[in-house]
Amino acid sequence: MIQTTFPDRAVMAELLAKMLWEIKAVHFNADQPYKLSSGMASPVYIDCRKLLSFPRIRSTVMDFAASTLLRDAGFEQFDCIAGGETAGIPFAALLADRLGLPMIYVRKQPKGHGRNAQIEGNMPEGSRVLVIEDLTTAGGSMFKFIDAIRAAGGIVDHGIALFFYGIFGEQRFGDGKVRLHHIATWRNVLAVAKEQKLFDDKTLSEVEAFLDAPLAWSGRNGGVSELSL
């Protein structure tokens, strides 16, 4: 099924934020910060994989992803969709179905030897590949998959994260010559929390302080204060 409707960007962002709250995928805890894989301490954590367990929400989010790509990238810009092991794989399958495109997936580590050691599926030389992840912070994990695809002869000019932290800008993507598309950020999630009074003022204030200066907040709360982008 190919999605060809184009909802307002702000509406898509707000609805995805509300969906994440509805399925309890959002966690705020300023008193006992979460430790991210980067070593950064964070008062917020989000589990986008839970979207897969809710069919109506899952379908709507993939409609949003398709609309975002068709409007911002174009209708005939990709030859296949790639998901990274493991979270990106089911979303790649869903998006490939929406756009009527082949799907591949990329392993975290090579299996065996040769140009396609990390690629599972059919990716001819020169294929224009869109990489999808459920979320990205600064792009580090996504670029592991992008680099593997490029090394195998694929062309990657675009990536999409359903959820983008939005706290470090898009420097890594600019440096890597990849245009990042996304549906919602932490600012959208925080706006819903404020509107619906989902947390006390102190917690919301701490979350906002983190979003304004994430590395400074991390350093004050036991995490790294520098991050290589």
Q: Residue 168's pLDDT is what?
A: 83
Q: Is the pLDDT of residue 156 over 80?
A: yes
Residue 157 to residue 126: CA distance in whole angstroms: 12
Which pTM value belongs to this model?
0.92
Residue 112 has pLDDT above 80, yes or no: no
pLDDT (mean) for 138-154: 93
Flag whether 227 is in a domain: no
Q: Confirm whether 34 is domain-assigned.
A: yes
Number of domains in the chain: 1
What value, to the nearest 5°, has the Cα angle with vertex 133 and ends 92 and 74?
A: 65
pLDDT at residue 177 in the model: 96
Instruction: Specify if 155 maps to a domain.
Output: yes
pLDDT band at 2 (very low <50, low <70, confident <90, very high): confident
Q: Does the structure show a pLDDT above 80 at 224?
A: yes
Let me know: does 216 contact 225? Beta carbons within 8 Å. Answer: yes
Whether residue 223 is contained in a domain is answered as: no
Annotated binding site for 5-phospho-alpha-D-ribose 1-diphosphate: 107-108, 111, 113, 133-141
The mean per-residue pLDDT over the stretch 49-62 comes to 97
> With 70 as the cut, is the pLDDT of residue 57 above it?
yes
For residue 212, what pLDDT is reported? 92
Residue 44 lies in a domain: yes
In a domain, residue 3? The reply is no
pLDDT at 42 over 80: yes
Cα-to-chain-centroid distance, residue 134: 4
- Calculate the CA dihedral of residues 58, 63, 65, 66 and round it to 10 degrees: 140
Percent of the chain scoring above 90 in pLDDT: 77
pLDDT band with cut points at 50, 70 and 90 for residue 1: low
In whole numbers, what is the pLDDT of the chain averaged over residues?
92
> What is the span of the domain harbouring residue 198?
9-217
Kindly tell me if the per-residue pLDDT of 54 is higher than 80.
yes
Binding-site residue positions:
107-108, 111, 113, 133-141
Q: Binding site residues for orotate, as ranges?
A: 137
CATH number reported for the structural domain that contains residue 118 in this entry:
3.40.50.2020
What is the spatial distance between Cα 33 and Cα 41, in angstroms, rounded to a whole number? 6
In a domain, 81, yes or no: yes
What is the phi/psi pair of residue 89, to 5°?
A: -65, -50
pLDDT above 70: residue 161? yes
| Confidence grade of residue 52 (pLDDT, cut at 50, 70, 90) | very high
